[in-house]
Amino acid sequence: MADALKPVSDDDLRQEVRAWLAANWHMKVADLNEFRTTPAYREWLNKVVDARWAAPRWPVEWFGRAMSDEQGYIIEQEFNRVGAPGSGMDRTQLYANTALAYGTPELKQAVIPGILRGEIAMCLLYSEPGAGSDLAAVRTRAEDNGAGWTVNGQKIWTSSAATADYGMLVARTDWDKPKHQGLSFFFLPMKQKGVEVRPLRQITNESHFNEVFFTNAKVPRENLLGKLGEGWKVLQTALAYERSAMGERARGPRRAGADAADSDLIALARRSGKLNDPAFRQELARTIAYRQLNELNTARAKAGLEQSSSSSIMSLGKLAMSRILHEEARLRTAMLGAESMLQGAEHPLADDANFLSLNAYFTSIGGGTDQIQRNIISERVLGMPKEQEVDRNIPFRSVRTEKAT
């Protein structure tokens, strides 16, 4: 392994990564999502982490090489060139990045190695029934019990809650402060008495989302991230990583990776006889161009992302990906025509189009709705006047709420 503290040239680094991959990566993976569920993936991930390729921009003491952003991209390019997963976690692993930026030394030691190696499963405990997109309005409370915090309340739309070891929780710790100032951010252990998970059935007939109920659940004192009452600041960093991931890798057709040729829009257009239709070609070109533009915007935003920066530019990519998925679903349906009315394994192309049409709404809602992203873009990117918030500067316990019916 190269000396982690000794600078290396870009050419030397690229040659080192290529040599390491040639010696260690011998698999042909058709479906990365499926591969990530196998023991072979866990074994591979351990190799990548031990070789310090997983998070090369991170400090040496945390499995990194203290490399520049540009050299981190060189490593990711080489991994992508041979189809090997595992690199780039210093850009995309929102849980580990948030813990590294704000966690106590005890928490970092407890969770970062396990998250990088895929041994610790995580979930996000943000949205609530009364605070879907307005996360400053959460009412789940965390109260100091002398040894840590006691949590009571409810979260909703929580992915992977049933299997998670920890959840990143935003909770209210001070009801006398305005809504953005009375929040704190925690790593809450999920496998304990007092945490109940109930699955939700989605429009795609899947159950990735859950309701989570807390009844006197406990959080150790060392699991507070950042300062007490400054959870909003921590949340902005975590949201930036989440929106970055959704803007770059939103879920496409159900069979993505299983049949790349048929999943590709151009191949589908050729197969359906639409490729030579001038009007349709314009729509197809527009969608593909939007994809390319979004990739460039996401790369630009990530290049400027610092651990404590806001997520403003990431919102642009997240909103764009939402629109791209809806447009791609519309095009796929148009290409298939009457065939799109069919469903099931005997009609995989129609199944893909229908799944994408339904699942596109997930990207429009999850990680902050399209409307929230437009507000962020207008206020923080374009500099337009802020939306009026009558409850922004009053104690949260005085904020009016809708009465239960």
CA neighbor of 175 nearest in space, from 198, 141, 151, 135: 141
* Gap between the Cα atoms of 180 and 182, Å rounded: 6
**Which candidate, 171, 206, 205, places its Cα nearest to that of 186?**
171
Q: Which of 242, 248, 339, 402 is an active site residue?
A: 242
Contacts of 248 (CB under 8 A, 6+ apart): 92, 295, 298, 317, 321
Q: Tell me whether residue 242 is one of the annotated catalytic residues.
A: yes
How many angstroms separate the CA atoms of 103 and 128, rounded?
A: 24
> Which tokens is 43 given?
């074994």
How many residues comprise the chain?
405
Parallel/antiparallel/unpaired status of strands 183-189 and 195-199: unpaired
Reduce the secondary structure of the chain to three states and give it as a string.
Answer: CCCCCCCCCHHHHHHHHHHHHHHHCCCCCCCHHHHCCCHHHHHHHHHHHHCCCCCCCCCHHHCCCCCCHHHHHHHHHHHHHCCCCCCCHHHHCHHHHHHHHHCCHHHHHHHHHHHHCCCCCEEEECCECCECCCHHHCCCEEEECCCEEEEEEEECCCCCCCCCCEEEEEEECCCCCCCCCCEEEEEEECCCCCEEEEECCCCCCCCCCEEEEEEEEEEEHHHEECCCCEHHHHHHHHHHHHHHHHHHHCCCCCCCCCCHHHHCHHHHHHHCCCCCCHHHHHHHHHHHHHHHHHHHHHHHHHHCCCCCCCCHHHHHHHHHHHHHHHHHHHHHHHHHHHHHHCCCCCCHHHHHHHHHHHHHHHHHHCCCCHHHHHHHHHHHHCCCCCCCCCCCCCCHHHCCCCCCC
As annotated, the active-site residues are 242
